[in-house]
Amino acid sequence: MKPSGSPRIGLALGGGAARGLSHIGALEGLEEAGIPMDVIAGTSMGALVGACYAAFPNARKVHEAFLRFIYSEHFPIDRFDFLRDHLSAEEMEEPLPGPIQQFKKVVQKGFFYGSSVVRRSFVPEEDFRKGIEMLLPDLRIEQLSIPFVAVATDLSSGREVLLSKGPLREAVLASSAIPGVFPPVSYEGRELVDGSWVHNIPVEPVRKLGADIVIAMDISRDIQDTSHWRRGLNIVFRTNAITRSVLQKIQLQGSDVCLRPDIGRMHWGDFREPEECIAIGREEAYRKLPLIRSVINQWASKDIKS
């Protein structure tokens, strides 16, 4: 039972695919420190981890469930390996040592773009759904132990869609449907995709759930200073990354504490070392515990005075 007069603490979990495994470690660290999560909002991988924890508020069990899934035959590791090896965070070309390697990269990258042209996604819809079903129970969001909202993007209107009721699996599918990689999700007459394009770190959505204090998890990759502007497509991806970075910084201003695990070097498609990523998230939670406790004490002191 939460003590009377205690603040409602909300967790805003951002998108970042494989880097989102660090969310699990952060939850472990916060749980061990006795910091309760009263409400959770998640985008993309943040929605998947957040929904799993909201259904089963035990970080160790969430940790074990994700490891079972990643090491199972149902996880499309070969497809993520392909994306990791041939698509960078901003889809920026890196200098390669010779013409044979360059040719190989161009052909394989062309395969990805070609498959996206003739099909709705790189990963088939049935594989996408099977993975979500392995991790999440067949519940409605209203039945979860912790209030939860998943953030998605409406392809037609371009608007943010907050999914705080209805089928849990569908909401998480929609929030994590990376365009081109996973298929859009048809939901109540709308075509929904990954929420990262409108709200990568859902600080405002978790406030709407009633959070007094918001702890945000930023697992995005820093914009690198580079001058490899050799092709128009590179420039398109670069400018898109800049726009999203600026928007994200604005959205993060509404948080009280921001956890930034040191995983910027990790590719979003690299699921080869999940334990390392989880451990880095746990370490960041431990590092920020004094600040989190200070914010909680300040809130309590203001509440007493008022």
Active site residues: 44, 194
- Taken in order 242, 80, 123, 274, the sign of the CA dihedral is negative
Distance between alpha carbon 145 and the CA centroid of its chain, in Å? 20
DSSP string, the chain: -PPTTPPPEEEEEPP-GGGGGHHHHHHHHHHHTT----EEEEETHHHHHHHHHHHS--HHHHHHHHHHHHTSTTS-HHHHHHHHHH--TT------SSHHHHHHHHHHHHHHHHHHHHSS-SS-HHHHHHHHHHHS-S-BGGGSSS-EEEEEEETTT--EEEE-SSBHHHHHHHHT--TTTS--EEETTEEEEETHHHHSS-HHHHHHTT-SEEEEE--PPPPP------SHHHHHHHHHHHHHHHHHHHHHTT-SEEE--S-TTS-TT--S-HHHHHHHHHHHHHHHHHHHHHHHHHHHHHHHH-
